[in-house]
Structure formats: C-alpha cells, structure tokens
Structure 1
C-alpha cells in the first residue's frame, strides 16, 4: 500500500517450471521481478496482499501457506534462495564456516562428528574454496560472497532454487562462472528460477525466458527462439535485445512507468513506436504474449510522425 492506496506490484504472472528446467525472468529494474520472488517465499512486507496460487509438485500453495509451514518445511528445504547482494545476508561477525555449519545442522541430520566434512562438501557444491571457509563476509570478493550464498541455498537439497540477480556487480568472467555453476544444479532434477536484467547471462543459462514490464509478464517463450530465430515478439523484448552491446547497442527510449502510477491501457505504449488505437486497452496475456501488435515495427526504428 502506498499513500493510502494499493500498488499492484505484480499482476497476471503465470508460468510453469519443471524439474531440471531453468526459467529466467528478465526486465528493467523496478518492474516487479524481486517482488515475485519474495512472494513465493512469504517474504513480502506485512501490509502486502497476494492473490492466486503458486503450487509446488505436491499441491502446496506457497501463497496460501502459513508462516510456520514456510519457515519449517519450505525455506531452505523445498525452495532455496540465492539473494541479491549476498554479503548483506551474511552475518558480518561470523565466518562462512559458521554460517554453513549452522545451516547444515538446521536442515540435515548430520551428526556432530560428520559436520566438518559436511560443511566442506557444501562449500564444494558451490565451488567455494575450503581454504576461505574461515573468512568473514567483509574478507570475501563479490564472487566469493555469491558462492557462499549459493552454498547456503543448496544445503537443504531444495528441488527449487530462486536466484535473485545473482550476477549483480560481477565482472563478465565471474558472471559466466556464476551462471554456469547455477545451471549445473539443474542437472540432478532441480528447477531454477533466475531473476536478472542481464540478458547475456540469461542467454547462457535459460531454457525459457519470461519478460516482465511494469509488473506484468508480456512474453513467455523458449530461450532458443527468444535469442535466436524467430526472436521475441513483444516490442519491449525486442528493444531489450537491441540494447545489448553485442547487438545493436541501441537503448530503449524513455523509462518504465512507476508501479504506483500505471497508465491506462498498455503500459509500454508511451515507449512503443508501433502504438495504435488498440493500445488504449490493456492487452490480455494470451499464448505467451501480451501485445496488440506482435511482430510490429522494430523498436529501433524512429517513431512515425503524427499529425
């Protein structure tokens, strides 16, 4: 709620995620991607409200589950979280070894005698060097802090892993290493939902791409089609790809509307070169697309003059 009124931070978000699959949710900052992840784990602010459902394979609805259920049986055990800014989620006065030992004790039945090796094995799963286990968070590089957070997320063997902007602040080599490590965790049947604004990282890891704009999904498509042929169909998604340095390096004009002040009709209309009368109505999300003029004029082209 904002200034006495409700803000619809995420609406009409519908997708399936199968074991062994990676779905990447992309979009500009502030479009609602991280809000969606927080909703799935019951980590929204106290005044937030949710509707709809988010079902695990046994039918448990994450959006309807009570806090004790989420705390005792879901977080860490069934859904692991690699948070944005992992260093901020690590206790500064505790070493990585202490973090991992506490998590291993909480989520597994490891005996005290077997705990040291279990901690080492947890570090190994995320390629975190055992030689750095006794370091504190402030002694870690951004990449090592990310691996520590990943190691913690994997301790419980959760079948679903949420990675919220896991490559923020990393150089390109570390970005590629991080997404490769995350992708490796889907090979034993885990599912991965990665949230990012880095399309190059998404191209490296995704099976499916979901594009979010102003709190709504506007396109959902296989990654091979999104990054290859025929390419994305929504003008916003096509504009995102055109902005990549390795492509046209042509930025999208304008900026997204504030979630608390969305325009009527299509939220992308003010930035879209193919806007027309139909865009005064909000497009429905049908067959993986929310657009009145799919495959219309390329967003890189100048907007036609209007009388």
Structure 2
C-alpha cells in the first residue's frame, strides 16, 4: 500500500532533474577496538535529491545507523571516517559534512539543514524539560517568537499524532511511542531541507506507523528529502522512491523502489522480500558475518544459493539506468528498456 501523493514541487536543474541535496562518495567508517577493527560502513556512495524519499534497509548491524551518525559528526572518538559527503544549497557553496569540522556542523548543519530523528528517543531527550519546553525552545532557537513557538508546538504535536496535552509531560512520563513522536516533532521543528529518520516508527502501532510515514512522504512531496533508515520493508514500500539495501557495511543494491519490490536483483534483496509474511515468509538462512571479520570476497556468499567460486572475489557495484547492484550472479529482473 502506498500513501496518497500530492503534486510534487521540487527544485530542478537545467536538465529537468531534481536538484541533489546530498552527494555521498566513498564514505567509509571504521571503529578501532583494542584488538580488532569494526568495518561499519564501506565505500558507500549515493545521491539524495530534492523530493526524494530514500529508504535504507537491511538487517540489524549492517551499518544503517552509522551512516546517519557519520553524516552529522555524531560518532565516538574511536571512529575513523573517510570519503566525502556534500550537502548542497542553491544559494551557497556545498558543505563537506565529513571534513567541515564541529563548528560548522553545530552552527550550520545539525537541526538547520539536516534534521535527525534518533533511533533511541530515551537517550535523546532532556529528562528535566517537558516536551512543550523542548519543542518551544527548538522553535525559538530557529527564529520563532514566543507566541508563535507556543502555537507551532501544538501544531507539530498534532502533526506527529501526539496529543498536545502530552507536551506537558516529562520524558520519563511518556510511553516509548509517545517519546518517538516527540523526537520526530523536534526534528521537524526547524523544517530542515534534509531529514535523516532512523527507525522513526519504533514503538508505534500500525495506524501511527502509517501516519508517520505519510508525514515524511508529504515533506518530500513539498520539495524536501528524507533518508528513511528502517528494517520495516512494508514501511519502505509504502512511501519510498528509491531503496538502498545494505549488507555487512556495503550497499549491495540501490534501485527505484517499484522495481526493487517487483523484482530485486541481488540475492540478498530477494531473500529479505521472501521473509515478509505476505510473500514466502521464509527467513534469510544463516547469519551475517561479524563486522570485525569480513570475508575477502562477497560477504553474502556463505548464505547465498547462487554462490560459485567467482564469489571469492568481491563484486564491484555495477550501475545501469535502472539502479545499481553488487553481485556476480544477479537475478534476472526484467530491467530492459
């Protein structure tokens, strides 16, 4: 099921293509441990355009959340980050999120040009401030007057499906789902052009899941962009324009959502879809590799029914007009002009 989509109003370039808001090239993240290295994200490249909702999917531990935190400079001190991530703006030079430094990230990027819906609201909320104070302080920090902030806080609460009366509660008085809706309201308050939503539907029942997804979809239809990090493939199918499938720190498939859900190319993408209750309801066999001990070749090969000796070498990401995949033995997808 997909959300009803109004006419999209997005900025376009001279060729009619939507304007890139974020261009990531070769993002690699490593965490140094005492006696091991965690390969959290490896050589990730993607572009997010105005009006686009990109869903990043994959099993837990594949690197999805690390991607979001790397873009905002929120990784621990033992992280090593390389690559480039350009945040574009029509009236200014692009900012390299991976190289600009903390003053620029704190003063120009976080909450202003890029918003974050965190995966763990309990650790993101100030425990000694009510939800109302948190939202109003955020709005006032971004130029709203006192009276406007009060009215807009009520509107934001309603937008995310939170009873405005619940804004007067402290974080410890909120249920998990209510806290999730509050952090979504906080991320939306400054109206950033790009929103990174890390599992934004955690703890919500199905009607509120759909409500939140439709809210994110409307932001894109109004010209913004959303990177939706989720393990919920039904959520991705409902609202996504494009899907990036991550496995063991790498993107292994990146294609338009309608084509991915109709006919995935990578065997891992196919296995994820086969695990859905409305499909084969068959779990992906085996387990992902440890990110401290990745195989030299295709990381999915030990779980893949199509593996051959060729899979002992790592496949390159192969691009076409219909997206990209990294597999020596892609599944026939019907991707022909």
TM-score higher than 0.5: yes
Q: Deviations over 1:166-187 (max 9, x none)?
A: 1223333332222122222222
Q: Secondary structure at the match of 2:87?
A: coil
Please, which moves more after superposition, 134-143 or 271-280?
134-143
Does the aligned pair in 2 maintain the 1:2–1:260 contact within 8 Å?
A: no
Which of 279, 285, 292 is matched with 2:328 structurally? 292
Per-residue CA deviations over 1:137-184 (Å, capped at 9, x if unaligned) read: 233233322221111001111100000011223333332222122222
User: Unaligned stretches of 5+ in structure 2?
Assistant: 1-31, 333-337
Which residues in structure 2 correspond to 1:221-300 (within 5 Å)? 221-228=255-262, 231-287=263-319, 288-295=324-331
- CA spacing shift, 1:177–1:110, aligned 2, 3 Å: closer
Matches of 2:163 and 2:310 in 1, distance apart?
56
Contact 1:219/1:289, CA 8 A, preserved across alignment: yes
Aligned to 1:81: 116
Alpha-carbon offset, residue 9 of structure 1? 0.9
Q: 1:158 aligns with which of 192, 203, 220?
A: 192
Q: Distance in 2 between matches of 1:182 and 1:148?
A: 15
Displacement of 1:92 after TM fit?
Answer: 2.3
Taking the aligned partners of 1:105 and 1:135, their CA distance within structure 2 comes to: 20
* Cα shift at 1:5: 4.1
The answer for the alignment partner of 1:24 in structure 2 is 55
Q: TM-score, normalised by structure 1?
A: 0.91
Of 164, 176, 181, 2:210 maps to 176
Matches within 5 A, 1:1-307: 1-58=32-89, 59-106=94-141, 108-228=142-262, 231-287=263-319, 288-295=324-331
Other structure's SS at 1:49 match = strand
Greater strand proportion: 2
C-alpha distance 239-113 of structure 1, shift in aligned 2 (>3 A): closer
Separation in 2, partners of 1:61, 1:165: 25
Contact 1:21 1:190 in 2 (8 A): yes
- 1:227-267 superposed Cα distances (whole Å, 9 cap, x missing partner): 12xx1100000000000011100001111001111011000
Q: 8 Å contact 2:160–2:211 — kept in the other structure?
A: no
CA RMSD of aligned residues (A): 1.6
Q: Which moved more, 1:200-209 or 1:180-189?
A: 180-189
Q: Is the 8 A contact 1:232 1:238 kept in 2?
A: yes
Higher alpha-carbon deviation: 23-32 or 138-147: 138-147
Instruction: State the alpha-carbon separation in 1 of the partners of residues 164 and 307 from structure 2.
Output: 55
- Given that 1:25 and 1:193 are in contact with CA atoms closer than 8 Å, whether structure 2 keeps it comes out as yes
The residue aligned with 1:304 is none
The 1-side partners of 2:114 and 2:249 are apart by 23
The 2-side partners of 1:160 and 1:261 are apart by 34
Q: Which has the higher contact order (CA 8 A, sep 6+)?
A: 1
Q: Is the 8 A contact 2:131 2:182 kept in 1?
A: yes
Contact residue 24 and residue 210 of structure 1 kept, 8 A: yes
